[in-house]
Amino acid sequence: MNQIRLKNTSDTFFSDAWELYQEAFPKEERKLLDAQTRVMSNPLYHYDVVIVDNQLIGFLLWWDLDSVRYIDHFATVKEQRNKGYGKSILENFMSLNDKPVLLEVELPESSINRRRIKFYERIGFKLNKHHYELPVFNEGEPPLQLLLMTYPRSISKDEVEQFVRTCHPIVFSE
């Protein structure tokens, strides 16, 4: 399993990863292509694809911020799910340094959302039940209500507010 950092949208594997991104996330959670192109030039942003036998297995799109590593988007190719790749990708990521990891999940209102939360919990993430809104990606849509999951420990409501105050201006400026 190889992890490759893409720097722009013309890199090998970007088109396959972009197709997976479009399939794996609802419209209200996705960037438009021009915004994705701009954000890839930010040195804090990492667009990592995971390759096995020259085939895309998944991607991990994340920000290396001062206080946290924020996973913006993570997905594996549908045909490669339930084979341990997702767990391996995240465990490797979590082992790279001691900085806390934060990601967003949809509310546990459906069986798929509950399964996703359980997946993250099995590898050590903690579900934080504090109110959290994802800023709007597309004009005219309401903010999306999500929950934050963190590794290695839960965070307080004050820490959620600090994340929004200090990290949202960086992450959601596009």
* Mean pLDDT, rounded, for 146-158: 97
Q: Return d(Cα 160, Cα 155) in angstroms, integer.
A: 7
Pairing of strands 126-134, 144-151: antiparallel
Tell me the CATH class for 2-171.
alpha beta
Q: What pLDDT is stored for residue 150 in this prediction?
A: 98
Q: Return d(Cα 14, Cα 32) in angstroms, integer.
A: 14
pLDDT class for 28, splitting at 50, 70, 90? confident
CB 107, CB 117: distance < 8 Å: no
User: C-alpha distances in angstroms, 6 versus 15, 58, 165?
Assistant: 11, 13, 28
> Which residue has tokens 């998944």?
58
pLDDT in tens, 75-102: 999 999 999 999 999 999 999 999 999 9
* Mean pLDDT, rounded, for 12-39: 94
Q: List alpha helices for the chain, DSSP H.
A: 14-24, 33-39, 85-95, 111-122, 157-171
Q: What pLDDT is stored for residue 174 in this prediction?
A: 63
